[in-house]
Structure 1
Amino acid sequence: MVFTSITFAFFLPVLFILYWAIPKKTRWIVLLAANIIFYMYGGALFILLMLAIALVTWWCARRIELSPDRKKAYLVSSVIVVLGMLGFFKYADFAIGTVSSICGLFSLSFSPAALRLALPLGISFYSFAAIGYVADVYKGRIPAQSSYFRYLAFVSFFPSVLSGPINRAGDIMPQIDEPADFDYDLAAAGLRQMLWGFFKKLIIADTLTLYVDPIFDNVRFYFGMTLIVSTILYTFQIYCDFSGYSDIAIGTAKLLGIRLKDNFKSP
């Protein structure tokens, strides 16, 4: 599911009503369910990788706290496992394709079945958030979360799981574990920030894409001022695309009473 989809336009209001209608102590459960539904909409199997990364980092953080004499080993192990998973899914197809091309230059046979691995949505963002959590426990900044599912609610937090911003566990987990009372001003600010994000993404970035993409797709046919202007416009397109998504994420979190750190404060 993406922020600009029709599905999200129905998903968020339902979650907003349900989240604020139930008692505080059970809100994290509703949030976790919403996170999983949001993420699985883009591919049900991808959730298994997220669950695995969350399980590894949760367990390592617990062992760091329970076995301080071996905490460095658990930290390193968690980093290796998570980065290994991240690297495999991001670069396995590229590596095999490169080896196959090189072998072809020397008339060597190397034709493995194509992996054609789809890149799991948001894997970079939740992987680094999970590693950051283990590092914070290792440094004593935060205690290890005893509940795997409460920790999973942080790792899978849907507003930021696809495109950030990446936030420290120490900033987000307390807000999930101990929800605040409904704040009208915060919710209104969140809605305004969401609308501003949609404007930047849908009106500015997507409009500039219509002009920029055809030029860069056929760059050999364009010269001089056209390339200069398109390069400048491409800069604005990228900025409005990423900052727009960031504003939507931060605004969505505010609707749930959760404050994410600002991103893209200035170009």
Structure 2
Amino acid sequence: MPRTIALTHSLDNSGLPSETPATPITTVPLDITRYHHPLFQRSEPGRYQGCTTYYFAAFTGNEPEPQTPLSAHKDKVLAWEQIGELSRQYGAARILWSKARLRRQAAPVLKKAVPLWAAWTVAQAELERVYKAFWETEDGRWRAQLLRLTDAESAAEAAAGAWEEIAQQLAQLAADQVAAAGYDDELRVTEVAQEVGLDASNWHIDHVDAYTDRFWGQPTPLLERLAQQVDTQRKRLVEVARLAGDPEAAHHPA
């Protein structure tokens, strides 16, 4: 099935002034088909003024990244307008290619992510359940309940860490797609998930910088959120223990 894409602006605007000769010059249009992208089929005016619709055969994402051939830039016979047309064509091809590549690369990663997100949600729910159990725990059994809490914290931390590893992979794939196509033609990972029958709307996937551009020791997003949750719970337990006049117990959660 042919793929189409419409561009409303030039992808190769040099900013050079345009001059109209005083006397019109008739030239024979040069054939640039030898520089067309291999999957290019045709182009035609779009629905809106200044918009061109490009038709391509379907991309798989395995093709090399579409780039205007260097030989076209070096061809001294081609006019600036023809180079611009080729640049717009290859820009349209690059958008379609980037989306095809994301679909091909992200689909298997998304399927691996499903049980990891499920494990995290179960671990977090268990952490919350164990914490709330203190409301029903007798004073003499607080230490046992504290052990259960620390076990739940460790399990949640392990689940969050496993999730962050695959979330970083998906964030990098998404960033690669945007780098090739631009934010105006972004394909979100959640959309790819929906296309393969998965609901990723609640998944915590941050921008790739949140996983890569961190200070030493700074946690990744989900681990940071978990750390804040654990800190809040422990401070509350310390407060309650102190109010109950049990300084020894007050030191256990901290």
| TM-based fold match above 0.5 | no
TM-score by length of 1: 0.27
Task: Judging by fraction of residues, say which structure has more strand.
Answer: 2
Compare CA radii of gyration and give the structure with the larger one. Answer: 2
Task: Judging by fraction of residues, say which structure has more helix.
Answer: 1
TM-score by length of 2: 0.28
